[in-house]
């Protein structure tokens, strides 16, 4: 079954991008107008993040988000057959910060978020990176699709580390110059074991692991953000957030990341994953103080 499913996806990926984008437009119409995929969540999140905007303004953002959502899905299929030249042409950016850290002989953490198109980023970054890219990913429950996507996501050199066993999976690379890529806007598995920070007008929990790992090993932290320049073309921005995390206080780096994320979302709201239930938990006193 694995070979049948992978073969079908690969055959579809061979279609010209122009044809695939027609399919993306059809998918957008279907998920937005017909089934209304997670519309309630999307509109609720947008109202939470942008209370100052009108309903019509939020609807425009939502429609652009769903267009990008459909494009991302189709572009991901294209990646099954895409070569390095294709990826390099469509995913670019300034990697000088990461080059500097490599020359200094330092590993690093790359903190990104649920921005389109993170699949392009996972394949494009290793083609521009001197470090070994270690990508923390959430295994797919379906074993066939998990195997298929692991194969696609590692085709340019990224090493995939399962999120549910990262500490053990990273051990073989602990003495190498790696860049550990984490999607850091995830909800923590345990809401009591996270930093609660005001995020887009409401407290939300953020995982502690990225910061605690960086502080413990004094591993430099880089914030990365992907911007969609035009259909099928993306640019990554890399910012050195902290070169010596061991000198920071608990929570300081995570707050800095959240503020960075807020700025990026406000500037380009249509590229963030609004169907993600980021505020599904309400703060309680037992969770500790809210960091501002």
| 24-78 per-position pLDDT tens digit | 999 999 999 999 999 999 999 999 999 999 999 999 999 999 999 999 999 999 9
For 103, how many CA atoms within 13 A lie in the half-sphere containing its CB? 6
User: How far does the chain reach from its first CA to its final CA, in angstroms?
Assistant: 50
Measured between alpha carbons, how far is 164 from 187 in angstroms, rounded to an integer? 14
Alpha helices in the chain (DSSP H): 2-13, 17-29, 39-49, 55-78, 84-90, 96-103, 118-124, 143-153, 166-169, 209-217, 252-267
Structural domain for 256, as ranges:
2-291
CA 290 to centroid of chain Cα atoms: 24
Does pLDDT of 188 surpass 90?
no
Q: How far is CA 25 from CA 18, 40, 204, 250, in A?
A: 11, 21, 33, 45
Q: Give pLDDT tens digits for 130-183.
A: 999 999 999 999 999 999 999 999 999 999 999 988 889 999 999 999 999 999
- pLDDT at 291 (0 to 100): 86
**Structural Rg of the chain based on CA atoms:** 19
Q: Looking at the 3D structure of the chain, how many domains does it have?
A: 1
Q: Give pLDDT tens digits for 110-138.
A: 999 999 999 999 999 999 999 999 999 99
For the chain, percent of residues with pLDDT exceeding 90: 88
Q: Other C-beta atoms within 10 Å of 83: how many?
A: 9
- pLDDT at 187 (0 to 100): 85
Which pair of tokens denotes residue 78? Answer: 């294209």
Measured between alpha carbons, how far is 174 from 92 in angstroms, rounded to an integer? 28
Measured between alpha carbons, how far is 236 from 233 in angstroms, rounded to an integer? 10
Does pLDDT of 292 surpass 80?
no
Is the preceding peptide bond at 117 cis, omega within 30 degrees of 0? yes
Question: pTM for the complete prediction?
Answer: 0.93
Bridge-based pairing of strands 202-207 and 194-199 is: antiparallel
- pLDDT at 287 (0 to 100): 87
């Amino acid at each position: 079954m694995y070979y049948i499913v992978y073969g079908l996806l690969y055959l579809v990926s061979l279609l010209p991008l122009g044809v695939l984008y027609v399919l993306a437009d059809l998918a957008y119409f279907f998920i937005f107008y017909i089934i209304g995929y997670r519309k309630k969540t999307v509109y609720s999140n947008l109202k939470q993040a942008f209370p100052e905007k009108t309903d019509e303004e939020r609807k425009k953002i939502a429609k652009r988000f769903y267009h990008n959502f459909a494009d991302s899905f189709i572009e991901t299929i294209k990646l099954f057959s895409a070569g390095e030249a294709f990826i390099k042409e469509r995913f670019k950016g300034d990697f000088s910060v990461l080059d500097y850290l490599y020359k200094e002989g330092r590993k690093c953490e790359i903190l990104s978020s649920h921005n389109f198109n993170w699949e392009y980023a996972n394949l494009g970054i290793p083609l521009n990176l001197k470090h070994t890219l270690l990508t923390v990913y959430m295994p797919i429950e379906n074993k066939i699709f998990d195997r298929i996507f692991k194969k696609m996501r590692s085709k340019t050199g990224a090493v995939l580390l399962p999120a549910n066993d990262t500490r053990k999976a990273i051990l073989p690379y602990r003495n190498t110059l790696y860049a550990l890529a984490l999607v850091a806007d995830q909800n923590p598995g345990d809401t009591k074991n996270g930093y609660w920070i005001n995020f887009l007008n409401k407290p939300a929990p953020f995982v502690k692991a990225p910061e605690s790992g960086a502080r413990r090993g004094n591993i430099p932290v880089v914030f990365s953000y992907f911007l969609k320049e035009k259909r099928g073309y993306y640019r990554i921005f890399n910012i050195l957030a902290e070169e010596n995390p061991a000198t920071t206080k608990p929570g300081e780096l995570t707050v800095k990341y959240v503020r960075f994320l807020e700025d990026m979302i406000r500037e380009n709201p249509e590229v963030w994953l609004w169907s993600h239930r980021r505020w599904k938990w309400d703060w309680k006193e037992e969770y500790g103080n809210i960091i501002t």
